[in-house]
Amino acid sequence: MTRNNTELEIEQLRTTIEQHNRAYYLDNAPTISDADYDALMQRLLTLEAEHPELADPTSPSLRVGRDRNDAFVQVAHERPMLSLSNTYNYDEIAEICERTDTLLATDDVPWVAEMKYDGSSISLIYEEGVLVRAVTRGDGTLGDDVTVNVRTIQSVPLRLRPVAGHPDYTMGRIEVRGEVLLPFKEFERLNGERTAEGEAPFANPRNAAAGTLKTLNSRVVAQRRLLCICYYLYALDDETRLPDSYYERMKLLEEMGFNTGVAPFKSSDLSALYHYIDEWDVQRGDLPYATDGIVLKVDSLTQQRTLGNTAKSPRWAFAYKYQPENARAELLSVDYQVGRSGVVTPVANVEPVLISGTVVRRATLHNEEFIKSLDLHYHDYVYIEKGGEIIPKITAVETSLRRPESEPVRLPELCPACGAPLQQIDGSVGYYCVNSYACPPQIMGRIEHYCTRRAADINVGPETIDSLFDRHLIENIDDLYKLTASDLAQLPNFKEKSINNLLASIEQSKSRPFARLLYGIGIRYVGEGTAKTLARHFQSIDRLAQATDYELQALPDVGPKIAEQVVYFFSLERNQQLIAELQRCGVILEERSEETTDAPQSNLLEGERIVISGSFTQHSRDEYKQLIEQHGGVNVGSISGRTTFVLMGSDMGPSKRAKAEQLGIPLVTEEEFLARLNS
């Protein structure tokens, strides 16, 4: 076959396969048998392998996937991928719409209502109509480059279809955002396969989709038949070349070849928007994928820019969350999980039941007091609800169906992980394993905590830590700094790049801010705020280790319980050895000159203990925490008689409000707080 004939056949095969892909994945109307489709794909793969000079980044053959990808590279989003604030009733919707009218000086703002898909967010970048990059949401600022995996998703166009009359719309650089989902049918198939192979099933389609996107084997991604539903369309080079209407841009996405899911609805009439929400509350149960609410967005992109964003979420968009679903299931057994602090948490195993698109098999039981309040017995029929449609919890027991022989559920007397006695500490409702330095879940939990982003920020996940522990390569925090390339080479799926990345991350962690490392070491009751107070006052771990109970309690954020635990921690020889080993490994456990910028900028809030509760519009909770510390105050997590005031957001929890009112603690609004700082 001549080169021209080969090139022509390849082009025809690519076009034909893409047509069949659209018919199958977008129109749900297959036009060819699986066997015939496979024959076409195999022919294309063969020709492309024989003629690598004819490679094309948009070829449908790339959707098949590769056996192995390198570790994912982090990429900065050109526009932050913010999260949405939530509403739960129509009064809250009306309040936001009224506030938006005021900010825009109009009473006729068109809103677009659309389905809220329960998957994993993705950003797709196209240049001159060709997909060049796909990035996960990550922390909203940085995400993982998963382009190789996303190319295997059939509903993601590798090349955009031109828009009739507007060929420029697909040119230049555009960004499309969407949600990657695993349809229920595929979720059940996948979990069936995993169970048959002795692997743990995924908890829900969202976790399965997110995990699949981060899979290192893109052939696996291709086999799992993910679905991508898209909504945002931005022109990164010149926003003005696209229509100003979000609703019209949704139509453009369809023309370009994207799946946009359930048809959105546009109106400035609140009653019409409520009707759409109510209608889909009933109909969403028939959808083939998971949803958990409705998103409302200001239609005009110009008005969106006028409204702007808070640090965490846009002011021009928010979510309405449907009421959580519940179901009845039989309690089969109870497991007991041990956390890093030794607390033992009972978890119910129930017969599988579908709630909000998730097959629920487990639900939290909190503690022994909660179990007693339910009078829970084995094989009871219990009612399960997904709080916030995320964490399943048992809300009630159907005692009329209880079997006469059923035994009550009781916490064990010994640790389920190591066999040590369980004790109740400090009069709390929880029971703890006292074998803190030899109990495997506690050891691994402390190491995982130390590696978190807010502590040492070491880029290693729980599964890798488990593998290292199982191979006796780490047994304490300091062992992380003794790992070698040959140690890491023993781990599954760890190649040269993964090994180098992890070793570099461990090395970088040695110079993290002292307060973060102190928080990561995991002294009981020492949270982030207290760690900052201790680091700022004592300046080094050596001086902190010599501190007396009296010196510690003199600090604004340190009470008797915290002081006792700090003194006790440093009194133990094993902890003294840990600190010495960390220092020997080069970990800097003292304040450095560049960290002095954390010092208070004023004493306006000096001596004040402030609780933050609720959601805010002008700053995020973390930013308010920083403002409090910058002005000499202390952010505390719970309300007590020592609390000065509560910085109250729009959806402050009713229990916190009641406690504040009971204790006579002032409730300060966001506006009042900022006015005080600016006075």
Q: Are 636 and 609 in contact (CB under 8 A)?
A: yes
**Domains of the chain, earliest start first:** 3-62 (1.10.287.610), 85-321 (3.30.470.30), 334-424 (2.40.50.140), 440-510 (1.10.150.20), 514-585 (1.10.150.20), 609-678 (3.40.50.10190)
Q: What is residue 195's predicted lDDT score, i.e. its pLDDT?
A: 77
Q: What is residue 28's predicted lDDT score, i.e. its pLDDT?
A: 44
Q: 230 labelled as ligand-binding?
A: no
Q: Are 579 and 450 in contact (CB under 8 A)?
A: no
Q: Are 320 and 296 in contact (CB under 8 A)?
A: yes
Q: 393 labelled as ligand-binding?
A: no
Backbone angles phi, psi at 525, to 5 degrees: 75, -5
Q: 179 labelled as ligand-binding?
A: yes
338-356: pLDDT as tens digits: 988 898 989 999 999 877 6
The total of other beta-carbon atoms located within 10 Å of residue 145's CB is 15
Q: What is residue 68's predicted lDDT score, i.e. its pLDDT?
A: 39
Query: For the chain, what's the residue count?
Result: 679
251 is annotated as an active-site residue: no
DSSP state of 373: H
Q: Which residues contact 218 (CB under 8 A, 6 or more apart)?
A: 65, 66, 69, 148, 149, 151, 152
What distance separates the 2 farthest-apart alpha carbons in the chain?
89
- SS3 (DSSP) at 394: strand
DSSP state of 622: H
Q: 114 labelled as ligand-binding?
A: yes
For the chain, which ranges sit under pLDDT 50?
25-28, 65-70, 388-389, 596-597
Q: 585 labelled as ligand-binding?
A: no
Q: Are 582 and 590 in contact (CB under 8 A)?
A: no
Cα–Cα distance measured from residue 289 to residue 229, given in angstroms and rounded to the nearest whole number: 11
Give the amino acid at 286. Answer: D
Percent of residues in the chain assigned helix, strand, coil, to nearest 5: 40, 20, 35
Cα–Cα distance measured from residue 174 to residue 42, given in angstroms and rounded to the nearest whole number: 32
Q: Are 358 and 184 in contact (CB under 8 A)?
A: no
Q: 37 labelled as ligand-binding?
A: yes
Backbone angles phi, psi at 419, to 5 degrees: 85, 5
Q: 415 labelled as ligand-binding?
A: yes
- Name the one residue in this structure whose structure tokens are 């780490």: 474
483-535: pLDDT as tens digits: 999 999 999 889 898 899 999 999 999 999 999 999 999 998 898 888 988 99
167-219: pLDDT as tens digits: 889 999 999 999 999 999 999 899 888 878 777 777 778 888 988 998 888 88
Q: What is residue 414's predicted lDDT score, i.e. its pLDDT?
A: 96
Kindly tell me the sign of the dihedral angle through the C-alpha atoms of 70, 73, 78, 84: positive
Q: What is residue 476's predicted lDDT score, i.e. its pLDDT?
A: 96
Q: 448 labelled as ligand-binding?
A: no
Q: 672 labelled as ligand-binding?
A: no
Q: What is residue 40's predicted lDDT score, i.e. its pLDDT?
A: 82
Q: 84 labelled as ligand-binding?
A: yes
Q: What is residue 67's predicted lDDT score, i.e. its pLDDT?
A: 40
Q: 331 labelled as ligand-binding?
A: no
Q: What is residue 600's predicted lDDT score, i.e. its pLDDT?
A: 60
Q: Pick the catalytic residue: 116, 266, 386, 625?
A: 116
Q: 297 labelled as ligand-binding?
A: yes
Kindly tell me the sign of the dihedral angle through the C-alpha atoms of 661, 666, 672, 674: negative
